[in-house]
Amino acid sequence: MKKFILLVVMPFVFLSASFGQITRDASDSIVLERMSLETRPHTVYLKTDTTAIATKAGELLELDYSCWIYYIHYEDQSDTIPATRRYLVVKESSGNVLEVRTKDDVSPPNLAAWIKITDFIDIEDLYAQPLPIIKQYLHGKWQGVKGSRNGTFGLFGLTNIIVNIDTINNNISTTGEEDFGETTMLHAINRPASYTWEEKEVYSPTVGQRPPCCTTYVMRFDELNTENPKILNAFTLLGVEDMGWYFWNIRNDVLQVIVDFSPATVNFNTYERYEFKRIRE
């Protein structure tokens, strides 16, 4: 029988209940600050869609409160040499930290599904990742930064836009309007909207690059809002029937989104793209 060692650890910050519910960003900071005192080389990983710790031995430790679970991977440890494994659980309502150590265990069963935590998230080849990894990185709220058509032409602001991507229930909600009253393909998305995933060949965001460069997963919207005359006219002009998004990379927490049109014969892919910055909660 595996043994779990539980240690309750108070964070360096957010000690008072007056801080109330903490954000994901604050939770990351608590863990990173705590681990800054660690001398052994390590990497911090986060699982955003669970409140349970599972081991490769098939055992499960479930938490009965909202929290973020971090796994500390020490660079000098190996799955071939069982040893104590370390987890940090940050309670959302207070910022208190629960430390969990499993004895004679190995790393989580699917570490590839965890997010590597640094001060900022960077993943240059997000488009090339398996779908579970793409979904893991996308899940959450995003603040609009800017958008463009055909590269730098038609640059427009998105700072009033908030996008909430729920990759568990396949829902997306968008609030706010583009800066300066610009009408973009964001208006074609119902608020809220559902979507399905489609694997297909896509284009590089490099302007003018043809033919399709690679295969990725496209978030295909189930229904579109074509009541807006400008959107309807644009769809008619482009000769498209439906639309989706695919996700190229994340740099310093900024996600690059490219609009994908269907049918695939349309020569306007990468016609419009957006940048969204992660809102950590």
- What are the domain boundaries of the chain? 4-117, 126-279
In degrees, rounded to 5, the angle at the alpha carbon of residue 97 between the alpha carbons of residues 94 and 98 is 125
Distance CA 199, CA 109 (A): 26
Distance CA 59, CA 61 (A): 7
What is the separation of C-alpha 192 from the centre of its chain, rounded to a whole number of angstroms? 18
The ranges of the chain with pLDDT < 70 are 1-20, 39, 55-57, 76-84, 104-106, 118-121, 151-154, 179-183, 207-211, 264-270, 280-281
Q: What is the pLDDT of residues 220-231, one digit of tens each?
A: 999 888 888 888
Give the per-residue pLDDT at 112.
78
Closest residue by Cα to residue 71 from 114, 25, 133:
114
Give the per-residue pLDDT at 69.
92
Residue found by looking up tokens 């043994």 in the block: 3
Distance CA 143, CA 160 (A): 8
Closest residue by Cα to residue 116 from 35, 59, 192, 178:
35
Q: 220 in helix, strand or coil?
A: strand
CB 65 within 8 A of CB 92: yes
Residue found by looking up tokens 């801080």 in the block: 19
CB 4 within 8 A of CB 105: no
Give the per-residue pLDDT at 1.
45
Distance CA 221, CA 197 (A): 9
Give the per-residue pLDDT at 105.
65
Q: What DSSP element (H or E) covers 132?
A: helix 131-138
Architecture of domain 126-279: Beta Barrel (2.40)
How does strand 193-202 pair with strand 171-175? antiparallel
Distance CA 270, CA 259 (A): 6
Helical H segments across 15-91, by residue range:
24-35
How does strand 140-149 pair with strand 115-117? unpaired
Q: 172 in helix, strand or coil?
A: strand
Count of all residues that appear for the chain in the document? 281
Give the per-residue pLDDT at 82.
55
Give the per-residue pLDDT at 41.
74
Residue found by looking up tokens 């109330």 in the block: 20
Distance CA 178, CA 124 (A): 26
Q: What is the pLDDT of residues 49-74, one digit of tens each?
A: 878 887 666 778 888 898 999 998 88
Give the per-residue pLDDT at 148.
86
Q: What is the pLDDT of residues 23-42, one digit of tens each?
A: 887 788 788 878 877 767 77
